[in-house]
Structure 1
Amino acid sequence: MRILVILFLLFTSLGNAQNIYPTDYFSSPLDITLVAAGTFGELRSNHFHSGMDLKTQQRQGLNVYGTADGYVSRIKVSHFGYGKALYITHPNGYTTVYGHLQSFSKEIEAYVKKHQYEEESFEIQLFPNSEELLVEKGQIVAYSGNTGGSGGPHLHYEIRDNEERPINPLLFGLDIKDSTKPIITEVYAYPIGPDAHVNKSKIKQKLRLIDNKDGSYSVENLEAYGKIGFAIATIDRQDLAANKNGVYNIQTRYNGDLCFELDFKRFSFSETKHLNRLIDYDLYKTKKQRLQKLFIEANNPLSMYNNNSNDGYIEVEDSTSSVYKVRVSDIENNDAWLQINIKGLKSNDILPLEDNTTPHYIYQSQDEVLSEGRVKVNIPSNTFYDDFFIDFKVEKDTLTLHKDVIPAKRYFDISYDLSGYKTEDANKVYIARLVGWNDYPLYSNTKRKGSVLTTSTKTLGKYALATDTIAPTITPKNFSKGKWLSKYRFLKIKIEDKGSGISNYRATLNGKWILTEYDYKTKTLTYDFNDAVSTETKNNLKLIVTDNVGNNSTFETMFYRK
C-alpha cells in the first residue's frame, strides 16, 4: 500500500511539473461556445500562427472580454495584419492580445480616436501607461470584427510571456472541444547525400499513403539506402468545425527509438519567418502543399525541436529491414500513427537528380552581386539557407531571378538604373514583380534615388519595370451630391487604383481632417458621423487619394445634415 501511495505522489508531482502554465487564471474572451477556426503554431504564409482564431458565428460585434485583471499596454490600428488590436498586460507577467476587432469599448475607443485626430492618422500605435486604461477580468474591452488581414469574422486571441513570446492558449485551459484524431494527407521520402536513394531514385519520392480507417496509416513498402528524411502533410480538426487546423506535436521513431520531435507550445517572433525552413518550400510554391519536414537541415534556428537524434534523419543499411513510425497528436492526446516498413537495398542503377547547373552560383555565407545591363541584384550574406545555382538573366527590362521555389530569410535588393531611359513618364515608373500565368505586374515597394530605382524583397521570380500614369478612382457608395444625410450613421466611399496601388488618402469636412477607416478587402473608406467633426447643416467633403507613384485624384462634394 505504501508503495502505491509513493508511486501516486510521484506521478502526480511529475504531472504538475510538466504543467507550468496556470490553467484557471484566464477566462474565456467570448461568452459563446468556443470553436477554433485556426490553432496555435498553424502553418501560414511565411509565419507560424501565434494564437487561436475563435469563430464568432459568422457575425461581427460580439462582446470581447478581458480574460484577467490588468491594464491596456498597447493598442495598434492598421489596415493590414491584426487590424484593430488590443494588448492587455496582467499582474502574472503574461499579456493577452485580441485582434481583428470591429471596435473597442467606449472608454478605449474614445482614447484611441482622441489620438487619431491629434495625429490625423487612422493607422496608429499607442502605449498607455499602467494607470490609464485599467481592465477587470470579465470586463468588455472590445467587439469582434473582421479588420486587417482577416479572411472572415473571428477573434484572434493570444497569450504572450514577459519576453513577448506567444504561447499556445490551450495550455492555459482555454476550452475547445476536441475528440477528433489528426489526419495525415501526404508523405514524402528524401534521399540525402551522394549515395542515398529511395525506390532506385535520388529524387524525393511521394509515397502512396494508405488510410487504415482507424487513425493509423501505412505506405507501400519501400526500398531505400543511405541517409533518408521524411516529410508529412497533416491537419487537425476540432469537434464543432470542419476547419483544417494545425497539429500540436509530431514524433518519429526508427526501430523503436525516438529520433525526432516537433511541438507547438511556444516560439518567438524572431524565428517565425523560418517556417519556410520547416516546410518543403518548393512543393508549397508549386503545388500549394505544406509538407512538414521531419528532419532538421543546416541553418535551421527553430526552437520547436526536441529529442532529436541525427537531426531526425535515419541511416538505412543494405540488406536490412526496419520500421519508421510517425505519431501526430493534438493537445488532447488524440493521435494518428503512420508506419513505414523499409527494405534496405543498395542499388547501382538509380535515377539521378536533374542537372540544375547555371552560370551563377550563390554561396549563402558570402555577399553576391549579379548584374547585367541596367539591372543589378545585391544579395547580402546569409540571405539564403543553402548554396545553390541561381538562374539569372535579363531580357530588355524583365529580370528572371530563378523561380520562387527557394526561401530567403533576409531581404535582398533589385536595382534598375534609368539613366537614358526614354519615356515621357520616367517619374511614373516602378519595379513590379510579375505574378501568375499572365505575368501580372504587382507593385514592389520602390524607392528612387536619382536615376536608380530599388526594391527590397525576399522573393525570387520575375521582375520588370512598369509604368502607372492613371490616377486612382473615387466613387461615393451610399450618397450623392446635395443629398440630405441626417439619418445616416456612416459615409462610405470606394477608392481604387489598378496600377501601382493606393499609397495614402486624406479626407476633410469643411476644411477639418476626418477619420476615415480603409478596408482594403472591399476598397471602402468609411466615416462615422458620431465623431461629430462638423455641426454645420451644409457640409463640404474633400478627399485626396494618392497612388504609389504620386498620381492623385481629388473628389469634392456637398451634402446636408441636421
Structure 2
Amino acid sequence: MKLSKLSCALLFLGLITIPYLQAQEVDKDYFINPINPGTRNYLAGNFAELRPNHFHTGLDFKTGGQEGASILAAADGWVHRIKISSFGYGNVIYLKHPNGMITLYGHLRNFNKELSDYMRKKMYDAKAIDLEIYPEPGELPVKQGQKIADSGNTGGSGGPHLHFEIRDSLDRAMDPLLFGFSDIVDRTAPVPQSIAIVPLNIDSRVNGKFARLEVSPVASGSNYRLPSEVKITGKVGIEIRSYDQLDGASNRNGFPTFELTEDTVTVLNLTVDKVDFNFTRQFLQHTYQNRYTKLYYQKNLKFDFINPKSEDAGHLALEPGVKKEYKLKLIDAYGNTRQISFTLQGQDMETNVNDGVAPSKASLNYINNILKIKAPISPKGGLAKFEVGSNSFEMLPAYQDANSRTYLWDMEFGIPEKIDICTEILLPGINALIPAGKETSYSEQNLQMNFSRETVLDNFFLRVSQTGPATSPKLIVNSSQEYLWNAVNILWKVPAYSGNKERSHAYYTSGNSKSFLGGTWTGDTLNFNTRSLGEISILQDTKKPTIQVIRVNSSDMRFVIRDDLSGIDTYEAYVNGKWILMRYEYKQAVIWSEKLENQPFKGEVLLKVTDKAGNTAEWKGTIG
C-alpha cells in the first residue's frame, strides 16, 4: 500500500515527537531535588554531555567545592543496591521506587549511620575492601526527603559534587531534567562551535574533495549561519560540535535534541533522552573524536536516538545544480533553542579540484573502509597500480590539481598489499579485514588475535606491527583514535624477552602514560585482553609499592601508599592478627582504618600492600 505525502508527514511527525510525548507522560512531581530542595541549585554537568568515552548519564550538582552536603532520598522507596568502591561512582546508593524507577546517588563521602553500619558489618564479614550489596526489597526502606548520605568526592570524581541519576525499570538512564527540578534555572540556548559536512561513501564529495569540511558558524541575530554555501556530490552527513550553559554557571554542558530541516521539512530528529548501558561504549562511534555529534544513520549503531528509523536518515544528497536551505536546531531540556542555517548545492563529480598545498611525498589515510592516498603530481603520469592478492588494478586519480593527486580505494573490494603510484611504492600495512558480527582470528609470526562477535561494531581493517628491542617489545595496533566495542584477546609470543615474567605484563602506553592491561604467561607467550588501540608494551615491574605513615595510634591508622608503574591492587591491615577494614582514596593515595567496634587499637600492626604486578610491601609497628 502506498502512503500519501500527507500520511508520511503525519507518520514522521509522530515519530519525531515520541521523546516529547514521553517527557509529557513523566510525573514531574514524583521526585524532589536530592540536594537543597526548594532552593536554587547549580549543575557542573548534565545528561547527554559528551565525556571522553561515554555519555554523562545524570546530573552533577555543585556543592560549593565542599564535601558534606546532606543528600536526600528523591522519593519513597528502598535501598536496591549499595556499593563502596575506590573507583567509578565511589560510594554510591541506588534507591528503587514504587513506580519501578531507580535513583542513583554517587561520589558520596559517607552514608547515613544506618547504611554505614550495615555496610561496615558486611565488609568485615567478607573481609572486603570494596563491596557491592543488593539488599532484599523492603530491607532498608527510605522516605522522601530522608537524609541518606553526605556528598563527597569518592571514586572517579574530579571534585566535590553529587552525581544523581534516574533510571527506568530496565536500568536505562533517563534525563532527570524531564522530571521537573524547577530549582535549576536555564533560559540560555545552546551554542554552536563548528559544523562538519562529511562524505558518507567513496562517491561522495564536499566542495569537490573526499574530506570532511569543518566550518565555524557566524552570528546572525540571536542565531547562526555558515558564512558560505557548500557544494556536495553524493551522500553527505552533518556533524555538530556545540555546548549548552545553564543560567549562573560558566561550565559547558550538553543538551539532548538536534533537529534538521531541509526547506522547512524535518528530515532528522536526534534526541538523547535515554541511554542503555549495554551500548554506552558505542558513544565512540556516535561521535567524531568525542567532540562532534553525528547527525546521520550509521549501520550497526544500536543507539535508538534517531528518527525516522531509516538507513537514509540524515544522509543528504542533491542533484547537480539543486540548491537547498537547511536549518539545524539545537534544543536543550528546557526548550531553549538555537538555529544554524546553511546552504548546500549539488554538483557533478569533478576530477580537477584545488586541493591546497602540494605534499612533499605520498600520504596514506584510513577513513572507515576507504584508503585515501594523496601524492605530488608526477611527470611519469597519474596511473596507480593496486596489487590485491594475485590481481592487479590500475586506477586514475579520483581528483587532482596542478600540484597533487588523490586516489580512493574501497577496501571492501580487497586489501592492497602494494600500491605503485609511479613516484614510489606504497605498502598500506593492512593485515586483515575483521568482519563485524563474526568470531575471527588473525595470526602471524609470534602473534594471534582473537575477535569475538562483539569486538568490532563495523568492519575493521587491522593494522598491526611489532617493534622495539627484545627487552621492551612493542605492539602497534591501528591508532589510538580508533576503538573496539569489546576486548580483543591477544596471544603474543616473545621468545627473546629476558625479563622477569612473573613481574612482566602488557601495558597500554601513550607518551609518558602507562596503563596496566595485565596478562598471563604460558612459556614465551603473553595472553591478555584489551579494548585500547595504539601502542602496547611489555614492561617489567619489580619495584614494591611504598608505604608512608601518616599516623598510627589507638584511635586511627592512616597511610600514604603509592606504586610507580602497575598500580595498587590490594591492601590489608591486621592488628594482633585481626583483619581491619581500610578505606582507600586513590586520588590522594591515602588509606585509613574504619573500626567495626569502638575499641582502641592495641598490639602488633601489619600492613601489606600489593601492586598489580605482584610485588608486596609490608609495614610493621606496635600500638602500645
Query: TM-score, normalized by length of structure 1?
Result: 0.89
Cα distance in 2 between the residues matched to 1:361 and 1:268: 31
Q: Give the letter aligned to residue 495 of structure 1.
A: I
- Map 1:452-471 → 2, pairs under 5 A: 452-471=525-544
Q: Give the letter aligned to residue 29 of structure 1.
A: P
The 8 Å contact of residues 393 and 400 in structure 1, kept in 2 or not, is answered as yes
1:518 to 584, 599, 609: 584
Cα distance in 1 between the residues matched to 2:568 and 2:210: 48
- Map 1:434-449 → 2, pairs under 5 A: 434-436=509-511, 438=512, 440-449=513-522
Cα distance in 2 between the residues matched to 1:523 and 1:18: 43
| Pair 1:414 & 2:490 matched | yes
| Pair 1:543 & 2:545 matched | no
Counterpart residue number, 1:21: 26
Counterpart residue number, 1:327: 329
Counterpart residue number, 1:11: none
The 3 A distance-change label for structure 1 pair 308 and 324 is farther
- Map 1:134-533 → 2, pairs under 5 A: 134-175=141-182, 176-212=184-220, 214-281=222-289, 284=290, 290-307=291-308, 310-346=312-348, 347-350=350-353, 354-355=372-373, 357-365=428-436, 366-396=438-468, 397-418=473-494, 421-423=497-499, 425-436=500-511, 438=512, 440-449=513-522, 451-477=524-550, 479=551, 485=553, 490-528=556-594, 531-532=596-597
Q: Give the letter aligned to residue 53 of structure 2.
A: N
Counterpart residue number, 1:87: 94
Q: Give the letter aligned to residue 492 of structure 1.
A: R
Structure 1 spans left out of the alignment, 5+ residues: 1-13, 285-289
Q: Cα distance, 1:308 vs. partner?
A: 5.3
Cα distance in 1 between the residues matched to 2:196 and 2:583: 46
Q: Cα distance, 1:450 vs. partner?
A: 5.2
Q: Cα distance, 1:16 vs. partner?
A: 7.9
Q: Give the letter aligned to residue 284 of structure 2.
A: N
Cα distance in 2 between the residues matched to 1:158 and 1:116: 26
> Can you list the C-alpha shifts for 1:169-215, whole angstroms capped at 9, x where unaligned?
11111231000110111111111223221112111111242233523
Counterpart residue number, 2:83: 76
The 8 Å contact of residues 183 and 215 in structure 1, kept in 2 or not, is answered as no
> Can you list the C-alpha shifts for 1:141-180, whole angstroms capped at 9, x where unaligned?
1110011111111111111111111111111112310001
> Can you list the C-alpha shifts for 1:97-122, whole angstroms capped at 9, x where unaligned?
11110010111110010101111112
Aligned residues: 528
Q: Give the letter aligned to residue 323 of structure 1.
A: E
Q: Cα distance, 1:542 vs. partner?
A: 1.4
The 3 A distance-change label for structure 1 pair 398 and 17 is closer
Cα distance in 2 between the residues matched to 1:273 and 1:468: 30
Cα distance in 2 between the residues matched to 1:340 and 1:545: 60
The 3 A distance-change label for structure 1 pair 18 and 331 is closer
Q: Cα distance, 1:343 vs. partner?
A: 2.4
The 3 A distance-change label for structure 1 pair 17 and 302 is closer
Worse-superposed segment, 314-323 or 353-362: 353-362
Cα distance in 1 between the residues matched to 2:439 and 2:224: 48
SS in 1 for 2:491: strand
SS in 1 for 2:202: strand
The 8 Å contact of residues 372 and 393 in structure 1, kept in 2 or not, is answered as no
SS in 2 for 1:459: coil
Counterpart residue number, 2:63: 56
Cα distance in 2 between the residues matched to 1:372 and 1:195: 34
SS in 2 for 1:200: coil
Cα distance in 1 between the residues matched to 2:305 and 2:237: 18
Q: Cα distance, 1:325 vs. partner?
A: 1.5
Q: Cα distance, 1:251 vs. partner?
A: 0.8
Q: Give the letter aligned to residue 508 of structure 1.
A: Y
Q: Cα distance, 1:549 vs. partner?
A: 1.6
The 8 Å contact of residues 232 and 317 in structure 2, kept in 1 or not, is answered as no
The 8 Å contact of residues 254 and 314 in structure 1, kept in 2 or not, is answered as no
The 8 Å contact of residues 109 and 154 in structure 2, kept in 1 or not, is answered as yes
Cα distance in 2 between the residues matched to 1:33 and 1:122: 37
The 3 A distance-change label for structure 1 pair 389 and 353 is closer
Worse-superposed segment, 29-38 or 546-555: 29-38
Cα distance in 1 between the residues matched to 2:49 and 2:20: 26
SS in 2 for 1:514: strand
Q: Give the letter aligned to residue 463 of structure 1.
A: I
The 8 Å contact of residues 60 and 143 in structure 1, kept in 2 or not, is answered as yes
SS in 1 for 2:234: strand
Q: Cα distance, 1:18 vs. partner?
A: 5.6
> Can you list the C-alpha shifts for 1:239-275, whole angstroms capped at 9, x where unaligned?
1211111112111112222111111211211121211
The 8 Å contact of residues 40 and 185 in structure 2, kept in 1 or not, is answered as no
Cα distance in 2 between the residues matched to 1:220 and 1:149: 44
Q: Give the letter aligned to residue 148 of structure 2.
A: V
Structure 2 spans left out of the alignment, 5+ residues: 1-18, 356-369, 374-408, 410-427
Cα distance in 2 between the residues matched to 1:329 and 1:363: 38
Counterpart residue number, 2:124: 117
Cα distance in 1 between the residues matched to 2:598 and 2:616: 25
Cα distance in 2 between the residues matched to 1:29 and 1:143: 11
SS in 2 for 1:292: strand
Q: Give the letter aligned to residue 142 of structure 1.
A: A
Worse-superposed segment, 181-190 or 378-387: 378-387
Cα distance in 1 between the residues matched to 2:495 and 2:74: 59
Q: How many percent of aligned residue pairs carry the same amino acid?
A: 30
Q: Cα distance, 1:387 vs. partner?
A: 2.8
Cα distance in 1 between the residues matched to 2:20 and 2:46: 24
SS in 1 for 2:201: strand
| Pair 1:554 & 2:561 matched | no
SS in 2 for 1:546: strand
> Can you list the C-alpha shifts for 1:342-369, whole angstroms capped at 9, x where unaligned?
2222223245972383342323234443
The 8 Å contact of residues 510 and 534 in structure 1, kept in 2 or not, is answered as no
